[in-house]
A and B are shown apart, each in its own frame.
Chain A
Amino acid sequence: MSATWQELRRARPRARFARWTGAFAALLALYAWTLGPMDFGDLFSERRLTNLERFLQVEIVPPEVRRGETTWAAWAAERIGGRNGLALARTLGAAVLAAALAAAAGAGLSLWTSRTALAARTPFERAEVEGRRGLAGSAARLLCVFMRALPEYLVAFLLGAFLPDPAWAAVLALSIHNAGILGRLFGETLENLDQRPARAWSAAGAPRLTAALGAQGPAALPRWLTFFFVRFETCVRESTVLGALGFVSLGHWIVQERAAGRYDEVLLLVAMGGALVVAADLASWAIRRWIRG
C-alpha cells in the first residue's frame, strides 16, 4: 500500500465553502428559533387561544349561516360573482399584463445581459464594437440584479405614491421585478445556444441584432416560453396581494373587509385567490403541454 487511509483522509479534498455555508445556515436557523423573534409563550397564551377560538367559531361564520338562514355554499355562491368576481378578473388581468410586459422587457434586456447575443462575431465587427459591449453588458446585468432584488410589494408601494392609477403601479411593480429575473434567464438561454448559426449570419453580412434575433430567436423560444409561464404563475400569486395598496382587486377587498371586521368575506376572498392561483398553475401546465405537442 502506498499511503495509509489516515494519510489519505488528512489530504482529502473538502468542499469548504459548501460546508461553512451549511454550518452557518444551521446556526442562523437555530438562533432564529431560540433567541430570535419567536415568542412561543405569547403565541400559546390564554389570550391568543381565546382569540383563535372566537375567530374560528364566530368571526369567520357569516351571520346568516350562524342564524341558520342559509348554508355556507349558498352564501358563498351568492358572493362569488359581482364585485368579487370583477376583483378576481382584475387580479388575473394584472398578472397577465405584467407577465407579458416583463417578458418583453426581459427579451430586450437579454440582448445585453447575454455575453453572446450582441457580441462581435467577425473580425470586422470586433473592431467596431470593442469595449462598448462589455460596459453595456455589465450595466444591463447590474440593472437586472437591482430590479429583481426589490420586492414587488415595496415597488408597488413607491410607485403608487405618485402614479395617478394604482392599477398601473401594481402592474409595473410586478413587471419590474419579473423583468429583472427574465432578463437574466433569457440571457443565459441565449448564451447556452449553439452560436454557429448566428456566426454564419454575421459572416454573410447580417447586422448583429438581425443575426441575434433571426438566428437565435427560434432556438431560444421554447425555453423562453417555459420561463415565461413559470413567472406568470408567480405573478398571479403576487397579484392577489398587491390590491392591498389600493388597486381594486382581491387584495383590496381583503384589506377593506378586514378593516370592517367582516372576516367571513375575508376568508371567501382568500379562498377565491387560492382557487385563482391553482387554476392559473393548471392552465399554464396545460398550455406548456400543448406547446410541446
Chain B
Amino acid sequence: MADQPTPPSVSLEGARVVLGGRAVLDGVDLEVGPSERVALIGPSGAGKTTLLRLVAGILPPTSGAVSVLGADPASLSGAAKRAHQSRVGLVHQDLALVPGLRAIQNVAAGRLGRCGLFRGLRDVLWPSASTTERIHALLDRVGVGDHLYQRVDRLSGGEQQRVAVARALHQEPGLLLADEPVSSVDPGRARALVELFVELSEERRLPLVVSLHDLDLAAGYFPRVVGLRDGRVIFDGAPEEARERAAELFRTEGGP
C-alpha cells in the first residue's frame, strides 16, 4: 500500500452515554473520514443530540472510546481541552446566540476559544478592521452580510440560523456539526440551508455531521445516512439503504 491511510476525523467505538440512569447512547460505533458528509436521522429521543454533544466534547462517554480530530476530548483538560473544543464547530439546535449583541459580536465570540481573556473580549466588543472584514466576508458567504451590525434578536429565525453557522465557521473548525439546523424553518428554506452546509463542507474540505428529522433532506443531500434509534445505530450506509430501512426507525414499539 503506497497511500498512508488518513486517520478518521471522528471515531466512536462502543460509545455509551448514561444520563439520569438511562443509556441515551448504547454501544455506538461510527467513523467519519476527512471531508466526509454524514446525516444522522432518527425519531426524537433516539440520541442524535447526545451523539453530537459527545463528539463536540461537551459530554464524556460513560464507556467506550472516542477520538475526534485525533484526540480523545475526555482525556484533555485545561488549555488543551479548550484548544481542542475550539476546533469543533457545533451549530446548536437552539442556536445559543446572545440576543442583545450584534451579529458581528456573536460571530466574533466564535474565537473566544483561541485567545486569552482580554484579546477575546476586545475582539467581541471592539473588533479590529481585519477581524470585521473577515466576519463580514463570512456573513456574506452564508447570505446575511448586510446584517453585520444588526442585533441578532432583531433578525428572523432563518437569519439567526445563518449567524450561528458563521460563528461556527469563525472558529476555523476542523469538523462541523449541526444539531437539527432546519427544525424551525419552513421547507423551502430548509432545503437552502442544507445546501449551504453541504457547499461549505465541500469548499472548505470540512467533515460534516448534521442531524435531521427529515429523511428526504438527508437522503437527497448526503452520500451517507446513519439511522439512530434508542441510542443504537440501526443502519449506516448509502441514501438508498436509508430509504429502504427508514421504517425501522419510526416503527412504534409493540406494533405489527
B146 touches A12 (CB 8 A): no
A8 touches B133 (CB 8 A): no
Given the known inter-chain contacts A1-B140, A1-B145, A2-B145, please indicate yes or no for A9 contacting B150, CB distance below 8 A: no
B145 touches A12 (CB 8 A): no
Interface size grouping (class) on chain A:
10 to 19
A13 touches B133 (CB 8 A): no
A5 touches B150 (CB 8 A): no
* Residue of B136, B137, B151 with most chain A CB atoms under a 10 A cut-off: B136
- Decide if A127 is an interface residue (CB 8 Å cutoff): no
User: Which single member of A1, A2, A3, A13 contacts B150 (CB below 8 Å)?
Assistant: A13
User: Which single member of B136, B137, B151 contacts A8 (CB below 8 Å)?
Assistant: B136
Q: Mark A4-48, 1 if CB is under 8 A from B, else 0.
A: 110011011100000000000000000000000000000000000
Distance (whole angstroms) from the CB of A113 to the closest CB of chain B: 30
- Decide if B148 is an interface residue (CB 8 Å cutoff): yes
Who on chain B is nearest to A11 by CB?
B149
A9 touches B132 (CB 8 A): yes
Measured between beta carbons, the chain B residues less than 8 angstroms from A4 are 136
What is the total of A-B residue contacts with beta carbons within 8 Å?
27
Q: Mark B120-153, 1 if CB is under 8 A from A, else 0.
A: 0000000000001100110010000110111100
A8 touches B140 (CB 8 A): no
Bound-complex Cα distance A188 to B149 (A) = 34
A5 touches B132 (CB 8 A): yes
User: Which single member of B132, B140, B149 contacts A13 (CB below 8 Å)?
Assistant: B149
Who on chain A is nearest to B100 by CB?
A15
Given the known inter-chain contacts A8-B136, A9-B132, please indicate yes or no for A3 contacting B151, CB distance below 8 A: no
User: Which single member of B102, B148, B151 contacts A5 (CB below 8 Å)?
Assistant: B148
B151 touches A13 (CB 8 A): yes
Measured between beta carbons, the chain A residues less than 8 angstroms from B150 are 13
Measured between beta carbons, the chain A residues less than 8 angstroms from B149 are 8-9, 11-13
Who on chain B is nearest to A14 by CB?
B149
Chain B: residues with Cβ within 8 Å of the partner, total of: 12
Measured between beta carbons, the chain B residues less than 8 angstroms from A2 are 145-146
Bound-complex Cα distance A11 to B151 (A) = 13
Bound-complex Cα distance A2 to B149 (A) = 15
Distance (whole angstroms) from the CB of B119 to the closest CB of chain A: 21
Who on chain A is nearest to B104 by CB?
A5
Q: Mark B183-224, 1 if CB is under 8 A from A, else 0.
A: 000000000000000000000000000000000000000000
Who on chain A is nearest to B140 by CB?
A1
Bound-complex Cα distance A5 to B102 (A) = 14
Who on chain B is nearest to A4 by CB?
B136
Who on chain A is nearest to B141 by CB?
A1
Distance (whole angstroms) from the CB of A23 to the closest CB of chain B: 16
Give chain A interface residues in 147-167, CB to chain B under 8 Å: none
Bound-complex Cα distance A13 to B153 (A) = 13
Who on chain B is nearest to A3 by CB?
B146
Give chain A interface residues in 265-289, CB to chain B under 8 Å: none
Bound-complex Cα distance A5 to B135 (A) = 9
Bound-complex Cα distance A2 to B148 (A) = 12
Q: Mark A85-103, 1 if CB is under 8 A from B, else 0.
A: 0000000000000000000
User: Which single member of A5, A11, A12 contacts B136 (CB below 8 Å)?
Assistant: A5
Who on chain B is nearest to A9 by CB?
B149
Bound-complex Cα distance A9 to B146 (A) = 10
Who on chain B is nearest to A10 by CB?
B149
Bound-complex Cα distance A3 to B146 (A) = 7
Measured between beta carbons, the chain B residues less than 8 angstroms from A13 are 149-151
Measured between beta carbons, the chain A residues less than 8 angstroms from B146 are 2-3, 8
Who on chain A is nearest to B136 by CB?
A5
Measured between beta carbons, the chain A residues less than 8 angstroms from B132 are 5, 9
Distance (whole angstroms) from the CB of B133 to the closest CB of chain A: 6
Bound-complex Cα distance A293 to B218 (A) = 48
Measured between beta carbons, the chain B residues less than 8 angstroms from A12 are 102, 148-149
Distance (whole angstroms) from the CB of B130 to the closest CB of chain A: 11
Measured between beta carbons, the chain A residues less than 8 angstroms from B140 are 1
Who on chain A is nearest to B151 by CB?
A13
Distance (whole angstroms) from the CB of B103 to the closest CB of chain A: 10
Bound-complex Cα distance A122 to B148 (A) = 48
Bound-complex Cα distance A3 to B140 (A) = 10
Distance (whole angstroms) from the CB of B57 to the closest CB of chain A: 33
Measured between beta carbons, the chain B residues less than 8 angstroms from A8 are 136, 146, 148-149
* Extra contacts besides A1-B137, A8-B146 (19): CB < 8 Å: A1-B140, A1-B145, A2-B146, A3-B145, A4-B136, A5-B132, A5-B133, A5-B148, A8-B136, A8-B149, A9-B132, A9-B148, A9-B149, A11-B149, A12-B102, A12-B149, A13-B149, A13-B150, A13-B151
* 13 residue pairs bridging A and B, Cβ less than 8 Å apart: A3-B146, A4-B136, A5-B132, A5-B136, A8-B146, A8-B148, A8-B149, A9-B132, A9-B148, A9-B149, A12-B148, A13-B149, A13-B151
Seen from chain A, the residues whose Cβ lies within 8 Å of a Cβ on chain B are 1-5, 8-9, 11-13
The 5 closest A-B pairs by CB, nearest first: A12-B149, A5-B136, A8-B148, A5-B132, A1-B140
